[in-house]
Structure 1
Amino acid sequence: MGSRTPVFDDVTAAARRIAGIVRPLTVIEADAELAPGGGVSLALEFLQHSGSFKARGAANLVAALLEADRMPHAGIVSATEGNAAIGFAWAANRFGVPATAFVSRSASAATVRRLRELGAQVRMTGATRADARDAARRFQDESGAIEAYVYDEALTSAGAGTILLELAAARANLDTVVCAVGAGGMFSGIAAVAEKLSIRVVGAEPKGSQALHAALAADTVRTVEIDSVASDSLGAPRISPSALAWAKSIDTRSVVVSDEAIIDARRQLWRHHRLAVEHGSATALAALLTGAYRPRPGERVGIVLCGANTDPADLAR
């Protein structure tokens, strides 16, 4: 099915499907050290099953396929690595659906171990992610499995959009939500909700991985070079067409921050709140700490901390 722009009704349908399946969003107020003026809430989505927001979209996809009686006997196949692969493996395990994950030989040992713990059949194929994708397509053709990552982007984006439904319910007068942007799946789902609820969206990206920022400047999707400490979760070379369409149609503010600012934001979250998040999550906070986005006096801001699949060993430095 591929690219389809998610709308608000997709998100409310996702909320119904995944209720009781995913963990409800925890929201706390940022301490004065991070937000001297107050009014900043932290959405702790990194506490989600699988360690990131990806579990929401994956659960919505699997639930929708089962609901429509369209899940094949071979289940789902993925050829992505990191949080997305883990999210799909978790959702398949939760619903009792077979999952096969193709990864390259360069995949991290931690990712491979986690995929296997979640019951996925892991097939290590080729030296690059492109090799793994080719192998996954052959498996899909032979088995009839559904390629989870590209089957219906609206379903996965809508699942992620439920974050803002829950954040807005917890903070009824929310003015602005800040989220990190990679390929744009979470951004699209959040934007669909933000338009309905009249909430401003700030999309934060590393300078070395700014697919949305570059697309807005060029007024078209374009390929960007990736070189960032947050590339493990925000390293998409291209933004999705849906994300660009949403960014152009709502009150979106696109900002970029340096790797140094991302590293500092991650350490400050640990120092002041004892929250251990990945660099991608810290990118959203860095937008405020650096002044890349400056809230107006009295503006109520929510920051989505979207993942924690990270090695915390360096946080004590």
Structure 2
Amino acid sequence: MIDSPDSPDNPIRLPRKPARVFRSDVRMARLRVGDAVRVTPVFHTEVTGPRGPVKVTFKLEYLQLGGTFKVRGSLNALLEAGDDGRPAVIASGGNAGIAAALACAMRGRACTVVVPESAPHTKVAAMWAYGAEVLWHGTSYAEAYRHANELATERGALQLHAYDLAAVVAGAGVVGLEIERQVRGRPPVLVAVGGGGLLAGIAAAFGPRGRVIGVEPKGAPTLHAALAAGRPVDVRVNSIAADALGATRVGDIAWNVAKRYDVGSVLVTDDAIAVAREYLWREFRIVVEAAGATALAAIQSGAYLPAPGERPVIVLCGANTDLATL
């Protein structure tokens, strides 16, 4: 089980006002980050669905620097903070740590990533490759997060967050602005959900004009559970995508955006995720991690059925994986 920093067994929380992210924040993030990150392409194609071929558009965000959309948010947060020389600290089970390490390397900042013992070696190796100090602490994300809080205080560091920091969400939302320019009309966009940073950013970028659907493993239904309960609640996590979608509670920012823009959620099984991941490799020679295939799993399993004439956009969000697991 991977714990969220908002879990009830985590008594230490960052003092912060509830943050809200809007399209204006995402537009500012795009201006701030500029061409320091890649504009990832889209690919119009067909995939196999339960009722036959389904027309879709892939947003190839797994081609982003560092193999993850998260570098957009980390870099935006660093640029917003200014070049004050402080090191950065983040707790992460994987992609957020890679993104922070890369963004800090780009800005000449020192970076420390605190990871739980369960962090995949492939992702830890990527953090090292970008020059980060990696510290193992505890067996859960919550324990790593508590230690990251302590380190940030001791070192006077800038503390980044994997998904629940306004600048991080706004940076991720630039993916939505790109989709607007690349895809005609306003098709629904399917996005994998962990803590909800990417979903919140894209939904904020679209505002009331767009439609975003969260796709979650049945073993990690943070947004789905929050929508059912009417508020964020803790869930138990047990999924093959847990190293990237392993938050136990949806972020406060994501919850605010989901309520504001009526964002929905569908659930998929681990088997469906594994099938979608293998399908991407077999049919397109696309290598993604389990989280990167989660949105496609909704189409192939029938958890989301496009309306007649609808061509949904599927965000393939990350590719930091061990090739031996394909």
**Residue ranges of structure 2 left out of the alignment (5+ in a row):** 1-15
Give the one of 27, 30, 33 matched to 1:18. 33
**Residue 306 (structure 1) aligned with residue 317 (structure 2):** yes
- What amino acid sits opposite 1:45 in the alignment? E
* Partners of 2:164 and 2:197 within 8 A in 1: no
Distance 1:200 1:167 in 2: 12
**Residue ranges of structure 1 left out of the alignment (5+ in a row):** none
Deviation at 1:46, TM superposition (A): 0.5
- Residue number in structure 1 paired with 2:238: 227
- Residue number in structure 1 paired with 2:297: 286
C-alpha spacing 1:111/1:284, structure 2 compared with 1 (3 Å): same
Give the one of 88, 97, 117 matched to 2:129. 117
**Residue 172 (structure 1) aligned with residue 184 (structure 2):** yes
- What amino acid sits opposite 1:143 in the alignment? R
Deviation at 1:150, TM superposition (A): 7.0
Distance 1:304 1:125 in 2: 32
- What amino acid sits opposite 2:252 in the alignment? P
Distance 2:143 2:301 in 1: 39
Deviation at 1:133, TM superposition (A): 2.8
- What amino acid sits opposite 1:111 in the alignment? K
* Partners of 1:173 and 1:300 within 8 A in 2: no
Distance 2:252 2:148 in 1: 23
- Residue number in structure 1 paired with 2:203: 191
* Partners of 1:2 and 1:152 within 8 A in 2: no
- Residue number in structure 2 paired with 1:7: 22
Distance 2:248 2:163 in 1: 20
Q: Which runs of structure 2 are paired with 1:75-154 in the superposition (5 Å)?
A: 75-149=87-161, 153-154=165-166
How many matched pairs?
A: 310
C-alpha spacing 1:129/1:208, structure 2 compared with 1 (3 Å): closer
- What amino acid sits opposite 1:108 in the alignment? P
- What amino acid sits opposite 1:154 in the alignment? A
- Residue number in structure 2 paired with 1:62: 78
Deviation at 1:101, TM superposition (A): 1.7
* Partners of 2:22 and 2:207 within 8 A in 1: no
C-alpha spacing 1:162/1:36, structure 2 compared with 1 (3 Å): farther
C-alpha spacing 1:85/1:256, structure 2 compared with 1 (3 Å): same
Deviation at 1:225, TM superposition (A): 0.7
- Residue number in structure 2 paired with 1:246: 257
- Residue number in structure 1 paired with 2:287: 276
* Partners of 2:235 and 2:248 within 8 A in 1: yes
* Partners of 1:174 and 1:301 within 8 A in 2: no
Deviation at 1:127, TM superposition (A): 4.5
Structure 1 segments, 4+ long, off by >6 Å, are none
Deviation at 1:113, TM superposition (A): 2.0
Q: Taking every aligned residue pair, what percent have the same amino acid on both sides?
A: 41
C-alpha spacing 1:116/1:271, structure 2 compared with 1 (3 Å): same
Give the one of 19, 37, 41 matched to 2:57. 41
C-alpha spacing 1:135/1:47, structure 2 compared with 1 (3 Å): same
Deviation at 1:156, TM superposition (A): 0.3
Distance 2:268 2:172 in 1: 23
Cα distance per residue 1:35-78 (max 9 Å; x no partner): 95554110000011111111110111111111xx5x3x332111
Moved more, 300-309 or 37-46: 37-46
- What amino acid sits opposite 2:190 in the alignment? V
Give the one of 200, 220, 228 matched to 1:217. 228
* Partners of 1:3 and 1:152 within 8 A in 2: no
Distance 2:108 2:263 in 1: 39
Taking only aligned residues, the RMSD between alpha carbons, in angstroms, comes to: 2.0
What secondary structure is seen at the aligned counterpart in 1 of 2:190? strand
Deviation at 1:33, TM superposition (A): 4.2
What secondary structure is seen at the aligned counterpart in 1 of 2:112? strand
* Partners of 1:174 and 1:300 within 8 A in 2: no
- What amino acid sits opposite 1:303 in the alignment? I
C-alpha spacing 1:19/1:231, structure 2 compared with 1 (3 Å): same
- What amino acid sits opposite 1:297 in the alignment? P
What secondary structure is seen at the aligned counterpart in 1 of 2:180? helix
Deviation at 1:100, TM superposition (A): 1.4
What secondary structure is seen at the aligned counterpart in 1 of 2:161? helix
* Partners of 1:2 and 1:150 within 8 A in 2: no
C-alpha spacing 1:109/1:101, structure 2 compared with 1 (3 Å): same
Q: Choose between structure 1 and 2: higher helix proportion.
A: 1
Distance 1:82 1:151 in 2: 12
Distance 1:254 1:109 in 2: 31
C-alpha spacing 1:265/1:32, structure 2 compared with 1 (3 Å): closer
What secondary structure is seen at the aligned counterpart in 2 of 1:232? coil
C-alpha spacing 1:128/1:293, structure 2 compared with 1 (3 Å): closer
